[in-house]
Amino acid sequence: MIKLKQLLLESELGDCYVAAARLASRFHGEPKVKLVHGMVNGQGALEGKRYGHAWVEYGNKVLDHSNGRKLEIPKSTYYALGRIKPDQNKYYTPEETMKWMLKAKHYGPWEITGDTVMAEDIPDDKREIGKKKVPIPRDVLIQL
């Protein structure tokens, strides 16, 4: 069984935005691949809270390679475990991912918040979006 507690603790410890952006960038030209920035529900100590998370979708499969994992599971299972609402997600093609990385000079989030919030209080104001910025090293920007 998936240890969702580990996945859901990433709001404090994770590298999901970096891992997902790098993974999505490898699929340049592949129309079935999307980088996803979404809000997931926490469990245990994070019950009742939502936080920003990033993963890659390839057709009906989710690829979550954050924190050194190689989690690859059906999309329906992943969405059910994290209580993910697709209409609150932002989806990016590999090409859009690279454009956003160049424009923002960080791995994300770009259009949603990465902060931990109460489940009913999802920030949607531009001033609350993209606060958790991990800069992209100059040598990576040059390669893009």
Strands 49-58 and 117-118: antiparallel
55, 67 Cβ separation under 8 angstroms: no
pLDDT of residue 132: 56
Buried b / exposed e across 87-116, counting CB within 10 Å, b at 16+? eebbebbbeebbebbeebebbbbbebbbbe
pLDDT of residue 96: 97
Low-confidence stretches of the chain (pLDDT < 50) are 1-2, 5-12, 120, 122-124
What does the mean pLDDT of the chain come to?
Answer: 81
**Could you tell me the pTM of the whole model?**
0.74
What is the C-alpha separation between 95 and 71, in angstroms, rounded?
A: 23
pLDDT of residue 8: 46
What is the C-alpha separation between 112 and 122, in angstroms, rounded?
A: 9
Q: Give the Å distances, CA to CA, from 40 to 92, 100, 101.
A: 18, 22, 22
pLDDT of residue 19: 96
